[in-house]
Amino acid sequence: MKGIFTIFALLLYNIHLAQNTRAEANEYFQNLNFTEAIVLYQQLDLKKKKPRPLIVERLAESYFSISDYGNARLWYEKLYALKAKRVDEATFIKYVQSLKACGKYVEANNLIKEYYSYDVQKMAIIIAQEQYLDSLLALGPKYDIRNSEINSPLSDFAPMYHKDAIVFSSSRAPEFSEDVDYSWNNQPYLSILMANRDTISGKLSAVRKFHKNIQSSFHEGTLTYSSDYKTVYFTQNYLKDNHLLVNPKGFSNMRIFRGDVTGDSIVNAVPLKFNNPKYSFGHPFLTKDGKRLYFVSNKYGGFGETDIYYVDIKEDGKLGPAINLGPTINTPGREMFPYVDGQNLYFASDSHFGLGGLDIFKSEIDSTNSYGTPKNIGKPINSNRDDFALITNDFENTGYFSSNRTNGKGDDDIYSFSKVAELMSYKGRILDEEIKAPIPGVKVKVYDREKQLITETTTDLLGNYEVALPTNGNHIIAFFKTEYKQEIQAVNHAESPNLYQDINTTHLTPFSSYVINEGGVEKIRANPIFFNLNRFNITYKAAKELDKIVTFMNAFPSVKIKIEAHTDSRASDAFNLKLSNNRAKSTRDYLIYMGIDASRIESAIGYGESRLINHCANGVPCSNEDHLANRRCDFIIIGK
């Protein structure tokens, strides 16, 4: 994507002609004239039998910067091999984004897991984000999107609401700009435009220049307004008398202004105190209550290329200190275009797990001002290219975002969207029934009323899971993990809508709770199976106990058993052997009748009185209770 890069582009002042190809290529690169730099770097690369990593890296970054992801992927691949996979994280992120932009998802995701394999915490976050995105994709499109009628062949992006209109940034020409082209993308510098907005259909029309009095020959960028539209924050180059001001290195960055709005003019515009000409500041967003201003900067001390910050605005209008949102939100890559709606922070990132390029993410803001793990909002708003600058209007159930996806009208385009089906987040936690500890790695599967699988996920290290489900239906949620009994929850949204929002705890009973170990032999824990004296038919009491065995075997479908039946010593040995055999086979037949596959029962054998467990042998006087202990049926586990 080219348009949004212009917000933080470094403008080289007074270019000196190079004396050789390498110096000239470096100068083009530093001047952000990537097309010319590519030509010269390729000439240098061809002259070398062994590629130089710096030239390969510059070629990869140049192609990436002009959104030629096919060539960027090839050069990043070469660089990755040259450096034996030891590239810095920012470079790795661009390699992954180039792969995804080319549709190489499997290769990209495998590389991600290989690159971060050493970091257990990072991997847990990546896997959770991947699983959440997969659950969204499995549900199908959540929004209808439409390329806006106002887009031009150049860059149009970063819309912001202004009453019944939107204000946006654009490099369209010639009717709106007489400026020279910007070297990065050979497009005119950005101007501020306005378009009428149909509040029902979302259609945009009647584009015209807006806030003309602040427009220069250079960049004017994203804007944000107070709820009464009397105050505005906007982005502009460092200027003096409509000339660029440069820092000691010869670069001009961006800074944020605050101004008052009178008609369509901005007056009393002053730069904010946190601006610093060494760095760029932009993408301001003011919360509805006017008490907090979010912005983006590449200033020293951040986590990546660009980070999201905020400052609190006091009653007297003074600004508090700039606060970095921290590593939950910010990454070694780019975080941009913050937007807050209610308790949700929306922003664009190229480093959280996504579909490619910049994706739009949502993070919940809790009552302690902490930010939840960012979640990808999925297709069709996100694509394998750059998607960013989302704004929403919940009352109208609509919104807008920007994208440079294929088949657009221009470079960056503005798209409108409307929700087609509401999804809500169903959260839960899985604990061990015995020790009350969280269980990681539990497979969570969600089915509809026709028992068709909708989505699935896995609990994280703390036993937590989250799935996105439609609000208009009933669902069955099943929980599976080896060595635990399967559990099933029925969720009726019509009767219990809070289930989709509240955290629910499910307890899984471990396999060990259902078995006993006697002399190294695992048996299903069961009460005695009662038969009438000298009978082998299944009584009501016996059926109740055998139903527990059926439940256990259904809960653990891989378990295989053998059945051993025993009698006491009364009656003859031959009679008892025959009786126990019949009881074992009756027991087996009952389990099969109740749905247990016959292949899971290896054998059903009676041992008569040959394996007494106490002293009550032939001729030994014993109580009925002592004899009862020998009349038993064991269910021995031989496979699980």
- Per-residue model confidence (pLDDT) at position 488: 86
Q: What is the pLDDT of residues 45-70, one digit of tens each?
A: 776 677 788 888 888 888 988 888 88
350 pLDDT exceeds 80? Answer: yes
Q: Which residue from 582, 168, 114, 618 is spatially nearest to 391, judged by alpha carbons?
A: 168
- Per-residue model confidence (pLDDT) at position 229: 94
- Per-residue model confidence (pLDDT) at position 185: 44
Find the range with the poorest average confidence among 102-106, 389-393, 496-500: 496-500
- Per-residue model confidence (pLDDT) at position 189: 67
Residue 296's pLDDT band (cuts 50, 70, 90): very high
- Per-residue model confidence (pLDDT) at position 17: 33
End-to-end CA distance of the chain: 54
- Per-residue model confidence (pLDDT) at position 251: 59
Q: What is the mean pLDDT of residues 621-633?
A: 81
- Per-residue model confidence (pLDDT) at position 178: 46
Tokens 């190809």 locate to 21
19 pLDDT exceeds 70? Answer: no
Specify the higher pLDDT residue, 44 or 18.
44
Q: What is the mean pLDDT of residues 216-227?
A: 77
Q: How far is it, in rounded angstroms, from Cα 79 to Cα 68?
A: 17
Q: What is the mean pLDDT of residues 394-417?
A: 86
Q: CA distances (Å), 373 to each of 122, 125, 132, 326, 573, in order?
A: 12, 8, 11, 11, 70
492 pLDDT exceeds 90? Answer: no
Q: What is the pLDDT of residues 504-553, one digit of tens each?
A: 788 998 888 888 888 788 888 888 776 766 667 777 777 888 888 898 88
The rounded Cα 16 to chain-centroid distance in angstroms is 46
Q: Residues of the chain with pLDDT > 90: what percent? A: 34
Specify the higher pLDDT residue, 205 or 142.
205
395 pLDDT exceeds 50? Answer: yes
- Per-residue model confidence (pLDDT) at position 521: 87
- Per-residue model confidence (pLDDT) at position 47: 65
3-state SS string for 568-619: CCCCCHHHHHHHHHHHHHHHHHHHHHCCCCHHHEEEEEECCCCCCCCCCCCC
Q: What is the pLDDT of residues 235-261, one digit of tens each?
A: 887 766 666 666 555 556 888 999 999
- DSSP single-letter state for residue 201: T
- What domains lie within the chain, and their CATH numbers? 4-139 (1.25.40.10), 153-339+391-419 (2.120.10), 424-509 (2.60.40.10), 513-639 (3.30.1330.60)
Specify the higher pLDDT residue, 353 or 174.
353
Q: CA distances (Å), 19 to each of 16, 22, 24, 45, 463, in order?
A: 9, 9, 7, 18, 62
| Report for 136-150, 445-459, 480-494, 590-604: range of highest mean pLDDT | 590-604
499 pLDDT exceeds 60? Answer: no
- Per-residue model confidence (pLDDT) at position 426: 80
Residue 341's pLDDT band (cuts 50, 70, 90): very high
SS3 content of the chain, % helix, strand, coil (to 5): 25, 35, 40
User: What dihedral angle (degrees, nearest 10) is formed by the CA atoms of 538, 579, 609, 623?
Assistant: 60
